Amino acid sequence: MGQTAIEVRNLDLYYGEKHALKDISMSVEENSIVALIGPSGCGKSTFLRTLNRMNDMIEGVRIEGTVEIYGENIYHKDVDVEMLRKRVGMVFQAPNPFPKSIYDNVAYGPRIHGIKSKARLDEIVEKSLKAAALWDEVKDRLKERATGLSGGQQQRLCIARALAVEPEILLMDEPTSALDPISTAKIEELLQDLKKDYTIVIVTHNMQQAARISDKTAYFLNGVLVEYSDTDKLFSNPERKETEDYITGRFG
């Protein structure tokens, strides 16, 4: 058994009156991939965002319970949210590179965190692009605009950008939903490599994808974590009737 990277206990989240997450408890092991599945509006993205306090920016949000990252409650009042987001990086659904060069996209985070040395930045850019399986495709055009890359390349660039600040955990919100099957396969393959060094939590609408890539799967319904178990088990022999209905397509 690996170390626990994320420990969520009795987490409730309200958007004003709307009770969007209901008493969620979940533990994520280091160097594993956890997939969050469930019908639209069930709270997957909301839950993902609680793991690096991205909901803090939304007005009227109230959160109860705790989220610990390596034993530290991230909702404690003394937590430096900027540092937290460095530890817990995020990749979004649509690739969103900055309108800057490929190099500057990857160097952006390290620069913000105070790294100025060109040699050091060069090193980080190369390492991050290699880790995101993009280096060979872009090494001769690092000064070109990132927006000129294909969608799949842009998403791998966004992964490289997230990795450049050396996070411990990577959150991904449907990272392949805007990509073609070949780019999707590349990212899925990449995730298997990345989990050697990172812990990954990924929202996906695609159950086949969850089954292919994740170690554990969490099924959400109406803000409730209905079932959380080993991916093989959840898809072959779910404990709960609601899960079975969903994975067999009788619902959602």
Ligand X SMILES: Nc1ncnc2c1ncn2[C@@H]1O[C@H](COP(=O)(O)OP(=O)(O)OP(=O)(O)O)[C@@H](O)[C@H]1O
Q: Which residues bind ligand X (CB under 6 A)?
A: 15, 18, 20, 38, 40-46, 58
Per-residue three-class SS string for 79-147: CCHHHHHHHEEEECCCCCCCCCEHHHHHHHHHHHCCCCCHHHHHHHHHHHHHHCCCHHHHCCCCCCEHH
Q: Which of 15/92 has CB closer to ligand X?
A: 15
Q: Which of 25/117 has CB closer to ligand X?
A: 25
How many Å apart are CA 146 and CA 134, to the nearest integer?
A: 12
Q: Which of 41/148 has CB closer to ligand X?
A: 41
Helices (H), 196-247: 207-213, 231-236, 241-247
Q: Which of 2/41 has CB closer to ligand X?
A: 41
Q: Which of 34/160 has CB closer to ligand X?
A: 34
**Shortest distance in whole angstroms from residue 218 CB to ligand X:** 11
**Shortest distance in whole angstroms from residue 62 CB to ligand X:** 12
**Shortest distance in whole angstroms from residue 86 CB to ligand X:** 24
**Shortest distance in whole angstroms from residue 125 CB to ligand X:** 32
How many Å apart are CA 117 and CA 143, to the nearest integer?
A: 17
252 CB burial (10 A radius; 0-12, 13-18, 19+): middle
**Shortest distance in whole angstroms from residue 53 CB to ligand X:** 14
Burial 75-95 (b: 16+ CB within 10 A, else e): beeeeeeeebbbbbbbbbbeb
